[in-house]
Amino acid sequence: MAHRPRTGTVPRSPIRLMYRVYRFVLPEVRRQLGGWRERAGSIADPELRKQALASMASKQFHCEGGAVYAAANLPMRDVLIPLIVAFQTISDYLDNLCDRSTSLDPRDFRQLHQSMLDAVDPGAPLHDYYACREERNDGGYLPLLVKTCQASIARLPSYSKVAESVRELVGLYCDLQVYKHIRHDLREKELHHWWNRHQSQYAGLRWNEFAAAAGSTLGVFMLFLSAADPHLQTSAVQNIRAAYFPYVCGLHILLDYLIDQEEDRIGGDLNFCHYYGTIETTAQRIAYVANRARKEIVRLENSSFHRMIIEGLLALYLSDPKVKDQLEVRQVSRELMKNSPLTRLFFWLNSLWIRKALY
């Protein structure tokens, strides 16, 4: 008889994790995204339609990566995958709207991101998310994404225990999106003011690392996963919050910025890795954040799963085709991988997958 995975258990090896991801998770992610693409294609306003479709075309891997958390609880994947895909789709859509915005109004960005706060509160009423901009007719696309999140969250048995932490992380994410998209001559000042309000809580961190951590949705997805456990303890929520923010989340977005440095330089976009100044400092600081993440997740239940998330992040970003075209990024990549056999294993597996996808 063929071996069948115990779907209620957390995978403890890279092979088992990746089997679950490719066999159970990715097909459902792509099915969900197919439905949202169809819905986005019917948006009446041409600019909103363009950005909704573009966000899914260029950022599908965000949903695929986030949904890895559903592999840790396959019996709840029918709740977790639609939730993660809908929430990440909101995030990517709004990021496109703000990046390519016809507005530089912080009130507009704040109002748009109210949708993310509503999405993680199953009892929240919907708001007019486009109230501060000219483009408004999305045919109910964004409200439907919000309601999909709310309906999924209502099925998580322990959500009440994580709700405060989720709202805090989503609030930080929304703050970042507002401050980083305003006028170029104002954004650094506002980001520094924001950091000053939080600095005392994060000794050893730099302002750009805090900002990077705020830009990750991984902490929210891990809290969604934990809320699927009917026996979740409050102490576990506190440990998850401390491990994921700022370190796992910070590593995630610093790696994203690391490989995007050249295109951000050309496009004049803000990049948090630019503030390190030298390639040596960049390598040292990202390694510091990665090592702190490895240390913090040891306190979590099923810590081997979280360790695979960390090494998988490193492998995913450092195997990206963008790396080979940037000499300094290749140098950082070698430094980050040299002391982690697990990262190298994920790098190899991911490289095989990339070659399969390309050819």
What does the alpha-carbon distance between residue 307 and residue 294 come to, in Å, rounded to a whole number? 6
Residues 116 and 134 in one domain: yes
Q: Within a domain: residue 207? A: yes
What does the alpha-carbon distance between residue 290 and residue 282 come to, in Å, rounded to a whole number? 12
Residues 120 and 86 in one domain: yes
Q: How confident is the model at residue 1 (pLDDT cuts 50, 70, 90)?
A: very low
| Model pLDDT, residue 330 | 78
Asked if 266 and 329 touch (Cβ cutoff 8 Å), the reply is no
| Residue 23 lies in domain | 15-155
| Model pLDDT, residue 5 | 44
Nearest in space to 79 (alpha carbons), one of 149, 152, 8, 157? 152
Residue 125, preceding peptide bond in cis (omega within 30° of 0): no
| Model pLDDT, residue 184 | 87
Q: Within a domain: residue 4? A: no
Instruction: Give me the phi and psi of 302, to 5 degrees please.
Output: 55, 50
Express each pLDDT in 123-135 by its tens digit: 999 999 999 999 9
DSSP class of 10:
P
Name the domain count of the chain. 2
| pLDDT surpasses 90 at 268 | no
| Model pLDDT, residue 101 | 66
Q: Is the pTM of this model over 0.75?
A: yes
Q: Which of 155, 172, 194 is the last residue of a domain?
A: 155
Residues 192 and 294 in one domain: yes
| Model pLDDT, residue 356 | 40
* Residue 232 burial (C-beta neighbours within 10 Å; 0-12, 13-18, 19+): buried
Q: Within a domain: residue 144? A: yes
Nearest in space to 135 (alpha carbons), one of 31, 45, 3? 45
Average pLDDT over every residue of 256-280: 88
What does the alpha-carbon distance between residue 319 and residue 352 come to, in Å, rounded to a whole number? 10
Residues 265 and 325 in one domain: yes
Q: Within a domain: residue 340? A: yes
What does the alpha-carbon distance between residue 317 and residue 62 come to, in Å, rounded to a whole number? 12
| pLDDT surpasses 70 at 4 | no
Rounded alpha-carbon distances, angstroms, from residue 167 to 77, 114, 219, 266: 22, 11, 11, 35
Residues 182 and 326 in one domain: yes
Residues 242 and 98 in one domain: no
Average pLDDT over every residue of 252-273: 88
Residues 27 and 126 in one domain: yes
Express each pLDDT in 233-249 by its tens digit: 999 999 999 999 999 99
Residues 189 and 336 in one domain: yes
Q: Within a domain: residue 63? A: yes
Average pLDDT over every residue of 69-73: 97
Express each pLDDT in 92-110 by its tens digit: 999 999 987 667 899 999 9
| Model pLDDT, residue 102 | 67
Residues 296 and 185 in one domain: yes
What percent of the chain has a predicted confidence (pLDDT) above 90? 73
| Model pLDDT, residue 239 | 96
Q: Within a domain: residue 359? A: no
Which one is predicted more confidently, 327 or 45? 45
Q: Within a domain: residue 27? A: yes
Q: Which of 119, 139, 155 is the last residue of a domain?
A: 155
∠ at Cα 141 (124, 101), nearest 5°?
100
Residues 122 and 171 in one domain: no
Q: How confident is the model at residue 325 (pLDDT cuts 50, 70, 90)?
A: confident
Q: Which of 135, 155, 175 is the last residue of a domain?
A: 155
Q: Within a domain: residue 240? A: yes
Express each pLDDT in 181-221 by its tens digit: 998 899 999 999 999 999 999 999 999 999 999 999 999 99
Unique residue bearing structure tokens 């999405």: 119
Residues 198 and 110 in one domain: no
Asked if 167 and 121 touch (Cβ cutoff 8 Å), the reply is yes
Neighbours of 296 (CB within 10 A): 21
Rounded alpha-carbon distances, angstroms, from residue 124 to 61, 99, 146: 29, 27, 10
Residues 185 and 145 in one domain: no
Asked if 76 and 228 touch (Cβ cutoff 8 Å), the reply is yes
DSSP notation for 33-92:
HHHHHHHHTT-SSHHHHHHHHHHHHHHHHHHHHHGGGGGG-GGGHHHHHHHHHHHHHHHH
What does the alpha-carbon distance between residue 240 and residue 196 come to, in Å, rounded to a whole number? 24
| pLDDT surpasses 50 at 284 | yes
